Amino acid sequence: MSVRRRLEALAWPASSFAAVLAAWQLAVTASRSTTFPAPLAVARGFAELAARGVLVPYTADSLMRVLGGFLLALSAGVPVGLVMGWYPPAARALEPVVQILRPISPLAWIPVSIVLFGIGNGATVFLIFLAALFPIVVATSNGVRGVPELYLSAGRNFGLSPLALFRRVLLPAILPQVLVGLRIALGISWLVVVAAEMIAIDSGLGYLVIDARNAGKRYDLVIAAILLIGGIGLVLDLLARRVERLPRVRWGFPRSDGG
Amino acid sequence: MSERKGLTAGFDLLPFCGIAVLVAAWSLGIRLRPGSLLPGPLAVARAIAELAANGLLWKHLVASLFRVTWGYLAAVLVAVPAGIALGSTRRPDQAIGPLLEILRPISPLAWIPLAILWLGVGDQAAIAIIFLASFLPLALTVKNTVRRIPRVHLQAADNFGLTAWSRASKVVLPAIAPQLIVGLRLTMGIAWLVVVAAEMIAVNSGLGFLVIDARNAGNRYDLVVAGMVLIGLVGLGLDTVVLRLERLPALRWAYAQAGSRR
Amino acid sequence: MILPLRTSPLPAASKLEVHGLDVTLAGNGHSIAVLRNVDLAVAAGELICVLGPSGCGKTTLLQVLGGFLAPTRGAVLIDGEPVTRPDPRRIFVFQERGLFPWLTAAENIGFGLEKLPRGERQARVAHYVELVGLVGFERAFPHELSGGMKQRVEVARALAMNPDVLFLDEPFGALDSITRLTLRRELLRIWEAERKTIVFVTHDIEESIQLADRIVVMSQRPATVRRVVEVDIPHPRDLSSRRYLELRDGIGAEIGLAHRV
């Protein structure tokens, strides 16, 4: 990309950001609201949180919970997806179960999870597990169903045992699609952690959002926390997309814009 | 390698087996923990009957459906043209695209305090949140799909001298239709998830409210789980409706892909 | 004027034999007879072409020969043993899409050689990389290679297994005509070097005359063997020689092709 184009690519979003900030500031001043914060107030709120030393530990807590739930969902979801994708009877039996459980928002599980796990990390991780499970199962089973019969025939032709066929042909073949499912699940997990941490007692970015509002209507801190949550979510998504570009899986994403 | 024989009976039992196993496991789990607050399948069935009897079932159901319909439709009507516009242009996309991408990872629930602040507690806030949660992913999906249209189609449109409007309606829209329907279905799922969440915090009726209220106002866990079951069933129903659209013959061309095991 | 083709008799000692093959497939509620009463014999080290129009059942025949499909009736024997399942001694070469996209060219070629000690495997891979003319591209992934190069990798992968028989299913079909000519010469070169038994399926008359010792001309579905034509031109075959054109026109007439466009 030429220099001019690169500048353009930065200038346009930058100016629209600036426009949004300006409009925001204007709206707040014009409405003379005492509760809704202006951009500057949010920036100061951010600094205050940093000074208080809560940003890093809370972020770490949220990330740990996401990681825990996500890994559990991965270890349960991939095998289930594999079975569902490979054995049509299994798919027919399990599809309705998935289809009924999936629309139930993790939030709706809160009362049940509190009964099961009490208030604390266990319940939060459980909610994230639920949220991440279904995208992973769906992506994996779709991946298996999409593997060209050709690859499996070639594998058999080369004398591979069923186990070797699974390990050396099926798994690499479904990897790109599974990675997409993992990325989506990660995104959802991060969204849910905000909700899930409403029931966690004392730490995490989601907790921060709720606490800042409840303990003093500090909407500047609320928005600061929201933006931070969004920013981290974006970083997670970008990292996940980076993994998708590794040579071993790039073949699964034929167009270079990667969507 | 011989061909596997499928079930020749017209009625497929397997889907019901899956559900039956789930219900049985649930029932067993409850029995193994006798002091638990959680209800078994029978208690939940009775709770649903109770809700139906005193009219609350319909009240909550209609409230939730009302909100999700308005929020979702509004999102679709705005997101599709916006997505097409963003996908077809360069400068506006450079300006607005990154903005949308940054807003997307922010949980819809995080917007709730702001929505309440601005619109107060009630339907409007809930619908606004559903709109926001549905609009962003759908617009981005449409935008990306438009960008992936094979260039030959767009060149043909230009070659035949179509106006911008004709180009959008006669070439772009049909070209993205299969992906769009998939996006609509996924967005429906998101909208339904979010309405439940929004109702837990922002309003006083609806299935999401039912789940929270039943617990807060007396630990009626049978109503809690009844609410969850209803949420699941309605979500499934909504999904099925949109799924029908995916199967339209007019969209079959997108599924004529060689090589998969379907 | 159509000149007579010499129909060749079955060879005495056969590597591959097909007896009375019937294949009927079930599709959409009714059954389709794809192959009917196919008889065939291929001698060791021979290169034969199965020629027929698209959709006539040539690929089905190949799948039965390779052990991927069970015939409804009849038998396939290789070295006297009945063929019932896929086996590394009889390797398929598909149109370049058979390559595993997550492996490099070298890894694809070495795919079937896992059981060999590392040094020997590397030596073999290197040998076949050179044989198909892809030195320098060992670490490339299939999506980085052209169609012709991918096809070479597939051939190398098949050869590296040192199979008894190679089955090629229209391997050059997706390539441009110039590359096709080049790859046919390469195939012949490799065949003369390694003398494998090759069964090559194609719909291209000229391709079959350029490559094969004998051409098995198939009818429309349900396919059966119309004629086995012997190609009595020594390699390298002149594409303008009289005998070549005789054969081409003769087979064309046999199938019922128009002689003028």
- For B101-148, what is each residue's pLDDT tens digit? 878 877 777 777 777 777 877 888 889 989 999 999 899 999 988 988
Interface of chain C against chain B, CB under 8 Å? 26, 68-70, 85-86, 97
pLDDT at B247 over 80: no
Helix (H, G, I), strand (E, B) or coil at B8: coil
Q: In angstroms, rounded to a whole number, what is the distance separating the alpha carbons of residues C59 and B233?
A: 47
- A109 contacts in B (CB within 8 Å)? 228
Q: In angstroms, rounded to a whole number, what is the distance separating the alpha carbons of residues A227 and A18?
A: 16
Q: Closest CB to A151: pick one of C91, C92, C100.
A: C100
Q: For chain C, what is the mean pLDDT?
A: 87
Q: Which of B1, B4, B8 to mutate to test the interface with C (most CBs of C within 10 A)?
A: B1
Q: How confident is the model at residue A204 (pLDDT cuts 50, 70, 90)?
A: confident
Residues contacting B145, CB < 8 A, separation 6+: B83, B87, B176, B179, B180, B183
How are beta strands C73-78 and C16-27 bridged, if at all? antiparallel
Cβ atoms of residues B144 and B87 within 8 Å: yes
Cβ contact, residue pair A173, C141, below 8 Å: no
Q: Closest CB to B109: pick one of A195, A230, A237.
A: A195
Question: Residue-wise over B51-64: b if at least 16 C-beta within 10 A, else e?
Answer: beeeeebeebbebb
Q: According to the per-residue pLDDT averaged within each range, which of B87-96, B177-186, C128-137 is highest?
A: C128-137
Nearest Cα neighbor of C16 from C114, C74, C82, C72 is: C82
Cβ contact, residue pair A159, C88, below 8 Å: yes
Domains of chain B: 48-250 (1.10.3720.10)
Q: Closest CB to A187: pick one of B105, B144, B200.
A: B105
Cβ contact, residue pair C70, B259, below 8 Å: no
What pLDDT is stored for residue B250 in this prediction? 65
Q: In angstroms, rounded to a whole number, what is the distance separating the alpha carbons of residues C89 and C159?
A: 10
Q: How confident is the model at residue B217 (pLDDT cuts 50, 70, 90)?
A: confident
pLDDT in tens, C228-256: 888 988 888 888 899 999 899 888 888 87
- A153 contacts in C (CB within 8 Å)? 68, 86, 92
User: Could you tell me the fold of the domain covering C13-89+195-261?
Assistant: Rossmann fold (3.40.50)
pLDDT at B3 over 70: no
List phi, psi (to 5°) of C164.
-75, -45
Cβ contact, residue pair B108, A191, below 8 Å: yes
Q: Closest CB to A92: pick one of B15, B147, B196.
A: B15
Q: What percent of chain C has pLDDT over 90?
A: 30
Shortest distance, CA B62 to any CA of chain A (angstroms): 17
Cβ atoms of residues C65 and C230 within 8 Å: no
Peptide bond into A39 cis (omega under 30): no
What pLDDT is stored for residue B254 in this prediction? 65
What pLDDT is stored for residue C69 in this prediction? 86
Mean pLDDT of B15-40: 85
Q: Is B259 on the interface with C (CB under 8 A)?
A: yes
Q: How confident is the model at residue A233 (pLDDT cuts 50, 70, 90)?
A: confident
User: Which residue shows structure tokens 């949308």?
Assistant: B100
Mean pLDDT of A56-65: 89
Q: Is B6 on the interface with C (CB under 8 A)?
A: no
What pLDDT is stored for residue C4 in this prediction? 53
Q: Is A254 on the interface with C (CB under 8 A)?
A: yes
Higher pLDDT, B198 or C4: B198
What pLDDT is stored for residue B251 in this prediction? 66
Q: Which residue of A has its CA nearest to B194?
A: A105
Q: Is A248 on the interface with C (CB under 8 A)?
A: yes
What pLDDT is stored for residue B5 in this prediction? 43
Shortest distance, CA C31 to any CA of chain B (angstroms): 13
What pLDDT is stored for residue B262 in this prediction? 37
Q: Provide the token pair at A79.
A: 């095998």
pLDDT in tens, C53-103: 877 788 888 889 988 888 899 999 988 888 888 888 889 887 768 899 999
Q: Is C143 on the interface with A (CB under 8 A)?
A: yes
Mean pLDDT of A209-213: 80
Which segment of A62-76, A225-239, C120-134, C246-260 scores lowest on mean pLDDT? C246-260
Bridge partners of C92, per DSSP, are: C167
Maximum CA pair distance of chain A?
A: 76
Q: For chain B, what is the mean pLDDT?
A: 82
Q: How confident is the model at residue C259 (pLDDT cuts 50, 70, 90)?
A: confident
Residues contacting C237, CB < 8 A, separation 6+: C209, C210, C244
A192: left (phi over 0), alpha (psi -120 to 50) or beta: alpha
List chains adjacent to chain B, taking adjacency as at least 3 C-beta pairs closer than 8 Å. A, C
Shortest distance, CA C261 to any CA of chain A (angstroms): 37
Q: In angstroms, rounded to a whole number, what is the distance separating the alpha carbons of residues B118 and B202?
A: 12
Residues contacting C201, CB < 8 A, separation 6+: C49, C50, C58, C59, C61, C62, C167, C168, C169, C170
pLDDT at A257 over 80: no
Higher pLDDT, B115 or A89: A89
**Domain boundaries, given as residue ranges, for chain A:** 1-33, 37-250
List phi, psi (to 5°) of C243.
-65, -40
**Domain boundaries, given as residue ranges, for chain C:** 13-89+195-261
pLDDT at A122 over 90: no
Q: For chain A, what is the mean pLDDT?
A: 86
pLDDT at B50 over 80: yes
Q: How confident is the model at residue A230 (pLDDT cuts 50, 70, 90)?
A: confident
ipTM for this prediction: 0.79
The hierarchical CATH code for the domain A37-250 is: 1.10.3720.10
Mean pLDDT of B218-230: 89
Q: Provide the token pair at C3.
A: 């000149």
Q: What percent of chain B has pLDDT over 70?
A: 90
Q: Is B2 on the interface with C (CB under 8 A)?
A: yes
Which segment of A78-92, A234-248, C55-69 scores lowest on mean pLDDT? C55-69
Nearest Cα neighbor of B180 from B67, B81, B93 is: B81
Cβ contact, residue pair C101, A148, below 8 Å: no
List chains adjacent to chain A, taking adjacency as at least 3 C-beta pairs closer than 8 Å. B, C
Four-point Cα dihedral B178, B179, B185, B189, nearest 10: 170
Q: In angstroms, rounded to a whole number, what is the distance separating the alpha carbons of residues A179 and A240?
A: 8
pLDDT at C10 over 90: no
112-171 of B, contacting A, C-beta below 8 A = 113-114, 117-118, 144, 147-148
Q: In angstroms, rounded to a whole number, what is the distance separating the alpha carbons of residues B58 and B152?
A: 51
Cβ contact, residue pair C85, B1, below 8 Å: yes
Q: Closest CB to A248: pick one of C87, C102, C111.
A: C102
